[in-house]
Structure formats: structure tokens, C-alpha cells
Amino acid sequence: MTIRTQSDKIKAKKVPFFAVIFYAEDSIFVNRKREGNVETFLMYLLFVVGVVLIVKGGDWFVDGAVWVAEVTKIPKFIIGATIVSLATTLPEIIVSTIAAIQGHQILMSGVGDYIAASQAKVGMAIGNGIGSVICNTALIMAISMIFMPIAVNRKDFTPKSACLLAALVALLLFSIKGSFSIIGAVVLLVIFILYIVENVISAKKTKGLEPPEEEEKPKTDKKSIIVNILKVIIGAAGIVFGSQLLVNNGSKIAASWGVSEALIGVTIVAIGTSLPELVTAITSVVKKQASMSVGNVIGANVIDTTLILSVCSFVYGGKLPVSAQNIYLDFPVAILVTLIAVIPTLIWKKFNRWQGILLVVIYIAYLVLVTVGLNWYLGLFGVAA
């Protein structure tokens, strides 16, 4: 039996030569379209996988880090005030650091339009840090305010809020000329150290006021040691690998949408890396422990503002380029939502539902503006996106 190929059939039918060319081009187009659909699917899938790895890896890393701290007999109030706060913001730190490192590598390569490409990566690093602050305050803290408007201890709330506002204002002032200098990074690091010191002192005072209780000793059998060490290693690896997937595929998504990486950084990347805080907020509302969520958000915001951007500045190796979007929109919105969350709370010594509702409205307006009205908005200031 003779097997006839598609080309034999075409010859047998005496199809004109130009028709053969059109047929070949059509076949190539269909194959390319199919390949493009697969690549697009993989791009979004790997982005989601990155988010899952970051969230789950962060969860395991926190559990393992707390166990290690307890085994080494670090006081629990120190663990709560420092290790847990740092560990829960590790996803944002790693994502932004990887983006800054990639930006530095592109800048050093000198290949193609390396300056613009480098600035795009840095845009994602800064966008993730400041976008997380906006998301944490205007969405996550707002959830706690709307569903559980609790009373607040002004003595505890004031210094932490002051550190956050000081960090945001310093960030804006040191970036106003279009770049964030090493001096600005040092100032943010000083604020971060002051925050940690205040946290430890506050936790120590609180512990002194509570009645002494018998502390439960962590398990140190062979199985517990192996499990918790694996949690630290696998959790850290999950965060790092997930962060790389998030940054790389976030860049591809930005390119496919025709938008800047800074925009992707302040939206889907920031929301993705803020999922641990969102889970904590929802859990706290369900368990009626909103104060835990608020404390976690304030701590995360201070670390996101001070540690992430200062580390990115050092990693980048010089002045960190800051976009017009950051200066004229992202930083001012971060300050605005923080003032709305802090000032009325200090006056009335409690959260109000109207604060939470107003914050959510501002967050929705911010997302709309940053996605569809950015060029119009920046045009009001006479600058381009």
C-alpha cells in the first residue's frame, strides 16, 4: 500500500505554486500560534506556582525558624518581636532583592538598551516593596477595621506608627530627584534598627506585666530536629525559587500586557507576596483577634519600607533609579493610606469602620488609576510614565 503525503496530494491536484506557499505559511502560523498559547499558559502557571511556593515556603520557614530560636533558648518575646516579623516579610525581601540583582546584572552587561532594561527590573523591586505597604494597609488592615473595629493601646501603637510614617516620608524625600541614594538607604536602616529595638523593649515590658507561666519546651527528639531543619531549608528554598519564578514571569506578563514592570510590581506581585499577611488578617477576624493582624501589618510595612529598599539599594550598587510613578503616585498613596489608618486611631484610641471602608475605596481607585489612568495622572505633573 502506497502512503501519499500532503505534498503528493497537492501535486496530484495540480494546485498552483502560490497556493502551496500560502498553505505552508498557514501551517507555520497555526503552529506558532499554538506554541504561543502554550508559552502564555506556562507564563501564568509558573507565576501562580511562584506565589504558592512563596506562601507555603514562608509558612514552613517561620515554623522552623521559631523552633530553632526556642531550642537555642532565645526568649519568646524576642522571637515574636523580631524573628517572626522578619520571617513573614521574607517573601517581599527575596522578591525585591532578586529583581534588584537582575537589574544590576543587566546594567553591568551593557547589552542592548541595558539602562532601560535595568531600570525596569528595579521598578519591580521598588514596586513590590511599596505596593505591599499599600496593599497591607488599604486592603488587609482595612479588613480588620471593617469587621472588627477594636480599641487600640495608644502607648504601643504610637512608636510603631511613627517609625512607619518616618520611613515613608524619608523614602519620598530621598527619592524626589529620581534616584534613591546610599545615604537614604542608611537612614532607612537606622529607622529599621530603632523599630526593632522599640519592639524588643515593648515586648519585654509586656512580658513583665503578665503573670509568669510555665513555658512549653520545644520537642528535641530526632524526628523533630529533622522535620524542623527541613522546614527551614525547604521553606527558604521555596521562597527563593518561588521569588525567581515570580520575578521572571512577572516581567513576561508585563511585556505581554504592554505595561511597565513597576506596574506589575505594585499590583499582582505585591498582592502575591502579601498573601501571608492577608491569611493572617482573615484568620484573626475569624478568631476575633484583630489586634494580632494589625500588629503584623504595621511590622510588615516598616520592614517592607526600611529593609527591602535599603537592601535593594546596596545590592544595586549605587543610586537606585526611581520612576515617576513611584514618586508622584505610589509613595504619596502609601503615606496617605498610612495617615488615614494612624491619625484617627490615635485621636479616638480605636479603629473605626469608616476608616476601613475609606481605605478600600482608595485602594480600588489606586488600582484603577495605576492600570488605566497612569499616563493621564502623571500628565497632570508634566511627566511621562
Mean pLDDT of 83-106: 79
User: Which of 67-71, 195-199, 209-213, 230-234 has the lowest average pLDDT?
Assistant: 209-213
How sure is the predictor about 214, in pLDDT bands with cuts at 50, 70 and 90?
A: low
d(CA 196, CA 160): 10
Highest mean pLDDT among 3-17, 118-132, 360-374 belongs to 360-374
Give 44-206+225-379's CATH code, choosing from 1.20.1420.30, 3.40.190.10, 3.40.50.12240, 1.10.3860.10.
Answer: 1.20.1420.30
Say whether pLDDT at 280 is over 80.
Answer: no
Residues near 366 by beta carbon (within 8 Å), at least 6 away in sequence: 134, 138, 329, 333
Say whether pLDDT at 49 is over 70.
Answer: yes
Neighbouring CB atoms inside 10 A of 322's CB total 27
Neighbouring CB atoms inside 10 A of 157's CB total 18
Q: pLDDT for 339-354, tens place per residue?
A: 999 999 999 988 899 9
Instruction: Outline where DSSP puts E strands in the chain.
Output: 179-180, 320-321
Instruction: Outline where DSSP puts E strands in 253-312.
Output: none
- Of 294 and 351, which is predicted with more confidence? 351
Domain locations along the chain: 44-206+225-379
Say whether pLDDT at 10 is over 50.
Answer: no
- pLDDT value, residue 187: 95
Q: pLDDT for 67-91, tens place per residue?
A: 887 787 766 656 655 666 677 777 7
What H or E segment, with its residue span, contains residue 48? helix 17-71
Q: pLDDT for 351-378, tens place per residue?
A: 899 999 999 999 999 999 988 888 899 9
User: Which of 161-175, 224-238, 247-261, 312-326 has the lowest average pLDDT?
Assistant: 247-261
**HEC-encoded secondary structure of 92-131:** HHHHHHHHHHHHHHHHHHCCCCHHHHHHHHHHHHHHHHHH
Say whether pLDDT at 198 is over 50.
Answer: yes
Say whether pLDDT at 241 is over 80.
Answer: yes
How sure is the predictor about 304, in pLDDT bands with cuts at 50, 70 and 90?
A: confident
- Identify the burial level of 168 via C-beta atoms within 10 angstroms of its C-beta, where 0-12 means exposed, 13-18 middle and 19 or more buried: buried
Please tell me the pTM assigned to this model. Answer: 0.77
- pLDDT value, residue 297: 80
Our CA angle for 85, 91, 97, nearest 5°, is 110
